[in-house]
């Protein structure tokens, strides 16, 4: 248990400090720019994440899956894994440079915002270098080094944002250039430190390895594209149906929730290599069950505690963004349900049944689009948040049930209870007035406290017996 907690702590330092820096950056931005300007900057972030989804071709996930099989030949594995994503990054950059005005019109509603498009084109190859460098460090379980790079990225973003606001202009341009500059410098630093010893030019492509990795990674692509609907349609449909100001409110709430993504990031970074190591070592299923139990109750309680503190969000964002607290509750379900699903869904990867991710993403994405279509015209940002939150509950259950089918029949009763509790509280904090939602959340936290204590004791004793102490 102590060994695992030490590794978890090392991986957590970066996301925790990064979240703190992000927590400083968001109110800084909302203080200097309007909701409409913030909405425009969010379109750049959306374009960045959308291209990232496509250009990796699933090779990043294939690298993670093959790492323990290729431990003696990591350099060869990494060089082959990076080959196609780098080619895709350069292709996307060329396309952005060729169609700058059209991309500007699509993102910002005007054809003359060329510099932000140039910034996006320039940063794509460095994003690939950064991502694979961090993946290598992560799979080698070097938590402290990983954390330092995460902190570097967030610190550079904050510093560049402040410098540009003070010396350039207080607009979405400064937010975009700060983001791009931080990504480029971090990519260069990681390349010069973690990737410099890899002789990329002397390692020829391994057709057998590439074929195996593509067979694992490519089925993730349709799932990723369909999953894009789950993560991006809320903003795109708000962009089409509402003003940039409403999009800015929604994006501000989303940014605050992304700080909660620290928990998701810490757990995923720690859990993926550990889970695959346990699987290869044929650890007992009781180890996985203990982790699943503690993660699910911890995330449920965390959700309730954050809802109890939601008025702090209004204070942080400032009066112009205060209405974001009514958008905030359902968006929380994105990191909460995703983290819970990460604990349960490893069975899909163990069984190499990644094609089922297509079904999971399709189901969640279609529900997200339908709910956005119905709710945004009525409730605007609240409707988009509800659509996102409910879709992530569907996502959690789809991953859980499919993993259970190919792995082992772990019990579902507690997940039904936790899902119901989370939904009840999100509805209460979105629509109920005065003290009622706070009373509901407080009662739920107190009722779940004994279960949390029992889960912690079970996890500790199980891992000690398994030699993970």
Residue 437 contacts residue 429 (beta carbons within 8 Å): yes
Structural tokens at position 206? 């391994």
List Cβ neighbours of 322 (8 Å cut-off, separation of 6 or more). 314
Co-location of 436 and 295 in the same domain = yes
Co-location of 194 and 276 in the same domain = no
Domain that holds residue 380: 229-469
In tens, the pLDDT along 102-154 reads 999 888 877 778 899 999 999 999 999 999 988 888 887 777 888 888 889 98
Residue 222 CA to residue 281 CA, distance in Å, equals: 31
In tens, the pLDDT along 78-92 reads 888 888 899 999 999
Q: Which residue has the higher pLDDT, 164 or 5?
A: 164
Residue 137 contacts residue 194 (beta carbons within 8 Å): yes
Global pTM value: 0.70
Residue 193 contacts residue 134 (beta carbons within 8 Å): no
Percentage of the chain lying above the pLDDT 90 cut:
22
Co-location of 190 and 239 in the same domain = no
- State the pLDDT confidence band at 213, using cuts at 50, 70 and 90: confident
pLDDT value for 280: 76
The stretch 209-232 carries a mean pLDDT of 78
Q: Which residue has the higher pLDDT, 316 or 274?
A: 274
- State the pLDDT confidence band at 326, using cuts at 50, 70 and 90: confident
148 assigned to some structural domain: yes
Q: What's the alpha-carbon Rg for the chain, to the nearest Å?
A: 22
94 assigned to some structural domain: yes
Q: Which residue has the higher pLDDT, 370 or 195?
A: 370
pLDDT value for 252: 76
Co-location of 202 and 336 in the same domain = no
37 assigned to some structural domain: yes
Residue 58 CA to residue 216 CA, distance in Å, equals: 8
Residue 249 has pLDDT above 70, yes or no: yes
Domain boundary among 168, 185, 218: 218
Q: How many residues does the chain have?
A: 469
Closest listed residue to residue 234, CA positions, set 249, 216, 212: 249
Co-location of 382 and 438 in the same domain = yes
Co-location of 205 and 258 in the same domain = no
Co-location of 409 and 450 in the same domain = yes
Domain boundary among 155, 190, 218: 218
pLDDT value for 57: 86
224 assigned to some structural domain: no
Domain count for the chain: 2
Residue 184 has pLDDT above 60, yes or no: yes
Residue 341 has pLDDT above 80, yes or no: yes
In tens, the pLDDT along 294-308 reads 888 888 998 898 888
Co-location of 326 and 203 in the same domain = no
Co-location of 334 and 423 in the same domain = yes
Structural tokens at position 171? 């607009």
Residue 192 has pLDDT above 80, yes or no: yes
> What integer best gives the mean pLDDT of the chain?
83
Structural tokens at position 137? 């460090």
Residue 2 has pLDDT above 70, yes or no: no
Residue 202 has pLDDT above 90, yes or no: no
Q: What is the per-residue DSSP string for 383-400?
A: HHHHHHHHHHHHHHHHHH
The stretch 300-321 carries a mean pLDDT of 78
List Cβ neighbours of 404 (8 Å cut-off, separation of 6 or more). 344, 347, 410, 412
Measured CA to CA in angstroms, residue 165 lies from 25, 41, 136, 213, 320 at distances of: 12, 14, 35, 44, 19
36 assigned to some structural domain: yes
The stretch 347-359 carries a mean pLDDT of 80
Structural tokens at position 209? 């390895």
CA angle 356, 362, 368 (to 5 degrees): 140
In tens, the pLDDT along 13-29 reads 777 787 778 777 777 88
Residue 349 has pLDDT above 60, yes or no: yes
pLDDT value for 417: 92
Q: How many CB atoms lie within 10 A of CB 133?
A: 25
372 assigned to some structural domain: yes
Residue 181 has pLDDT above 90, yes or no: yes
The stretch 141-169 carries a mean pLDDT of 87
83 assigned to some structural domain: yes
Co-location of 256 and 308 in the same domain = yes
- State the pLDDT confidence band at 469, using cuts at 50, 70 and 90: low
pLDDT value for 230: 73
Domain boundary among 165, 194, 218: 218
Phi/psi for 57 (5° steps) reads: 55, 25
In tens, the pLDDT along 362-416 reads 888 889 999 999 998 888 888 989 999 999 999 999 999 998 888 877 888 889 9
62 assigned to some structural domain: yes
Co-location of 238 and 372 in the same domain = yes
Co-location of 271 and 212 in the same domain = no
Residue 102 CA to residue 243 CA, distance in Å, equals: 20
Percentage of the chain lying above the pLDDT 70 cut:
90
Residue 5 has pLDDT above 70, yes or no: no
CA angle 18, 20, 22 (to 5 degrees): 70
Residue 279 contacts residue 305 (beta carbons within 8 Å): no
Closest listed residue to residue 235, CA positions, set 226, 244, 225, 224: 244
Structural tokens at position 6? 């030490």
The stretch 308-328 carries a mean pLDDT of 73
């Amino acid at each position: 248990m102590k060994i695992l907690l030490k590794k978890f702590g090392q991986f957590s330092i970066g996301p925790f400090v990064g979240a703190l820096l992000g927590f400083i950056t968001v109110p800084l931005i909302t203080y200097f720019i309007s909701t409409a300007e913030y909405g425009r900057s969010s379109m750049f972030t959306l374009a960045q994440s959308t291209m990232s989804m496509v250009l990796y071709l699933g090779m990043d996930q294939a690298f993670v899956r093959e790492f323990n099989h290729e431990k003696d030949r990591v350099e060869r594995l990494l060089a082959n894994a990076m080959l196609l994503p780098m080619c895709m990054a350069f292709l996307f950059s060329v396309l952005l440079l060729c169609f700058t005005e059209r991309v500007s019109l699509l993102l910002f509603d005007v054809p003359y915002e060329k510099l932000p498009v140039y910034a996006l084109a320039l940063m794509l190859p460095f994003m690939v270098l950064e991502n694979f460098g961090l993946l290598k460090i992560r799979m080698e379980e070097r938590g402290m080094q990983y954390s330092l790079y995460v902190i570097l990225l967030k610190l550079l973003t904050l510093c560049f944002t402040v410098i540009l606001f003070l010396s350039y202009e207080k607009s979405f341009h400064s937010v975009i250039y700060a983001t791009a500059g931080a990504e480029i410098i971090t990519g260069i630093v990681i390349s010069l430190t973690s990737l410099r010893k890899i002789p990329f030019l002397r390692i020829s492509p391994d057709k057998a390895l590439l074929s195996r990795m593509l067979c694992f990674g490519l089925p993730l692509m349709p799932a990723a594209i369909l999953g894009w609907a789950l993560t991006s349609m809320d903003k795109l449909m708000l962009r089409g149906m509402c003003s940039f100001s409403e999009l800015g409110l929604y994006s501000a709430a989303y940014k605050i929730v992304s700080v909660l993504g620290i928990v998701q990031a810490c757990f995923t970074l720690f859990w993926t290599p550990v889970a695959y190591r346990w699987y290869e070592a044929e650890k007992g299923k009781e180890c996985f069950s203990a982790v699943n139990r503690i993660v699910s109750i911890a995330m449920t309680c965390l959700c309730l505690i954050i809802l109890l503190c939601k008025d702090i969000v209004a204070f942080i964002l400032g009066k112009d963004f205060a209405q974001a607290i009514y958008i905030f509750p359902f968006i929380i379900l994105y990191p909460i349900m995703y983290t819970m699903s990460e604990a349960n869904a490893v069975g899909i990867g163990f069984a190499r049944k990644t094609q089922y991710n297509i079904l999971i993403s399709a189901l969640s994405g279609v529900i997200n689009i339908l709910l956005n279509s119905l709710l945004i015209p009525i409730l605007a940002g609240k409707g988009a948040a509800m659509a996102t939150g409910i879709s992530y509950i569907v996502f959690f259950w789809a991953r859980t049930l499919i993993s259970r089918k190919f792995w082992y029949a772990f019990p579902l009763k507690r997940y039904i209870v936790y899902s119901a509790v989370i939904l009840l509280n999100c509805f209460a904090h979105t629509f109920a007035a005065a003290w009622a939602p706070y009373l509901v959340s407080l009662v739920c936290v107190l009722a779940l406290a004994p279960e949390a204590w029992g889960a912690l004791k079970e996890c500790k004793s199980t891992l000690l017996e398994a030699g993970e102490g």
